[in-house]
Amino acid sequence: MNEGAEGLLRSSGGADSLLVFLLGSLLVIALAFVAVRWLAHWQYQFTRGRRMRVLEGLAVGRDRHLLLVQVGKEILLLGSADGSIRLIHRIDDPSVVAEWLAEPQQESGAASNSFAGLEGAVRANVDRMRSLLSRKGGGGP
């Protein structure tokens, strides 16, 4: 009877240590998640400027991005690749700038997390860029 009781205690001790390990792991993951969220919020507050802000960004390849940046009363289309940034197009027409800035900024929510909504938004923005570039004589297909 003693041998059975000792075996039961040993298996219970193993289960307890496994439970402590799992709870400890979940605690570490939760703390890491909270720290990342806090750092992201802190970085947003720290880098938020009054004269310059990134309106939109689009990854177009590995380490290649297109950025719409508002600087004062101008909107710049910038290309970023391999550690360099180049000006692709400058939009300084007040009516076009006002039109682009008047559109409501979409906050993160359930609708923005769906891939279908994201794809539609990207297509609409690319079409809008093409029409504005062709209007300004910037070229494009």
Rg (CA), the chain: 26
Q: Can you tell me the distance from the alpha carbon of 100 to that of 129, in angstroms, rounded to the nearest whole number?
A: 10
CA distance 90 to 87: 7
Averaged pLDDT score across all residues of the chain: 76
pLDDT level of residue 9 (50, 70, 90 thresholds): very low
Q: How confident is the model at residue 21 (pLDDT cuts 50, 70, 90)?
A: very high
Which has more confidence, 72 or 137?
72
Rounded to 10 degrees, what is the CA torsion of 113, 117, 122, 124?
-150
At 107 the pLDDT is 47
- Each residue of 93-127: b (16+ CB within 10 Å) or e? eeeebeebeeeeeeeeeeeeeeeeeeeeeeeebee
Torsion angle (degrees, nearest 10) of CA 114, 104, 132, 94: -160
Give per-residue pLDDT as tens, 91-131: 888 888 888 777 655 544 444 444 555 666 677 777 777 77
Residue 135 vs residue 102, higher pLDDT: 102
